[in-house]
Amino acid sequence: MTKSINCKGHLIDLSTPKVMGILNVTPDSFYDGGTLKNDKDILGKVEKMLNEGATFIDVGAYSSRPNADHINEDEELKRIIPVIDLILKKFPKILISVDTFRSKIAKQCIESGERYNQILAWLRTEYPDRSGETWTNKFHGIRKSLQETMEDFLTKRLKELEL
């Protein structure tokens, strides 16, 4: 049986591994230290990940770094929506996932993507169903899952998805 996910009518075959590029648009990211300072940096990073084989680009605007400052929803939206709009203008066929634990952020990002008739792909149901789309929330709670190793986290999720 072939494993796939439906991203608004486009089947993504999951019988072979897919690469998800990570784009942190936080000023204090533990991964890249907030090095994405302008549109050129952001688009360059996305293009590099796509050229290196990324199927999905995961955009996050809330720092999950230990001891990071909490930001409100308005600040997260202010960081993420312009980046999604920018990416979709440059790469109209791109598959984007959104790294957030807030349903309001996920909903606003989907609506942003719909302005371009774009696919925003999520991998696990967490939020209320929305027109047959599948949603994800990679981290349950703000930092709870970050205490797990990534391998444990992915193993647990794959078992839940029966992949």
Residue 127: predicted pLDDT: 44
Threshold 0.75, pTM exceeds = no
pLDDT along the chain (163 residues), means of 10: 72 86 84 81 96 92 82 93 93 86 84 60 42 40 43 71 63
Three-state secondary structure of 111-163 = HHHHCCCCCECCCCCCCCCECCECCCCCCCCCCHHHHCCHHHHHHHHHHHHCC
Residue 65: predicted pLDDT: 75
For CA atoms 64, 37, 93, 88, give the dihedral sign: positive
SS3 19: strand
d(CA 49, CA 58): 11
List residues bridging with 105 in a β-sheet: none
Residue 84: predicted pLDDT: 92
Q: Which domain holds residue 22?
A: 4-161
Amino acid at 41: D
Amino acid at 88: L
Q: What is the DSSP letter of 11?
A: E
Residue 145: predicted pLDDT: 39
| Token pair recorded at residue 37 | 């300072």
Among residues 15, 17, 106, the alpha carbon closest in space to that of 54 is found at: 17
Number of structural domains in the chain? 1
